[in-house]
Structures are given as C-alpha cells and as structure tokens.
Amino acid sequence: MNQKESLTTIGQPVPELPVADVEEAQRYYRDVLGFEIGWLYPGNGIGSVSRGTAAIFFRRREEPFEPAIHWVFAEDIDATSRSSDRQARRSWSHWRKSPGD
C-alpha cells in the first residue's frame, strides 16, 4: 500500500477567533454578514456561526488578543463580496434608524 492510499479525508478547517463577547460576535456575523448562529455553549464561553459550508467558532478571551490568521477561499469572490455588501447595507440601515423612525 502506498502512502496516499492510507490517508483519510480531512474535513474543512474551522477557525476559532478570540472575541470579548461571543454572543455579540454571533449577532454581528448573522446580521451583517449573513451567517446563521449554530450554537452557544453554556456560560457563553464558546459558540459558532455558519454560512454554507463555512463555520467559525468564537471563544471568549481577554484583550489583547493573540492574532488569528485564516485563509478563506470562494469560487467567485466578486459575487461573494457583492452578497456580503448587500447584507451589510441592509443591516446598517436597520441599526441607523432611531427609535422614533
């Protein structure tokens, strides 16, 4: 048996990002970037969001945060950017309204 035959498939990496507030990060990714909230661990120390096949974990940490670098690839980055821009504009216009509007 050669080396390639003995390897198993590796799943897509899931980044874990340090944040001050897990729930706030989840809401931002949902409201601005179009992700869905996946789960939140009791005590709010770690949670996840997903969009399509992409998933991101957030873990509560104290500042200053250690850097977290992750590469994200998309088949059509321009279409992905346009979609995210539309989501951000809709969310921003919602948050800009005053209570009396």
Task: Look at residue 59 in the predicted model and tell me its pLDDT.
Answer: 95
pLDDT higher than 80, residue 7:
no
In a domain, 80, yes or no: yes
Range of the domain at 88: 13-63+71-96
Tally of domains in the chain: 1
Task: Look at residue 12 in the predicted model and tell me its pLDDT.
Answer: 79
pTM of the model: 0.64
In a domain, 7, yes or no: no
- Summarised one tens digit per residue, pLDDT across range 52-87 is 999 999 999 999 998 887 676 667 767 776 776 666
In a domain, 6, yes or no: no
In a domain, 53, yes or no: yes
Name which of 22, 51, 17 is nearest 34 in CA terms.
Answer: 51
At 1, the pLDDT band (50, 70, 90 cuts) reads very low
The CATH number of residue 80's host domain is: 3.10.180.10
Cα separations (Å) of 35 from 7, 50, 53, 82?
32, 5, 11, 15
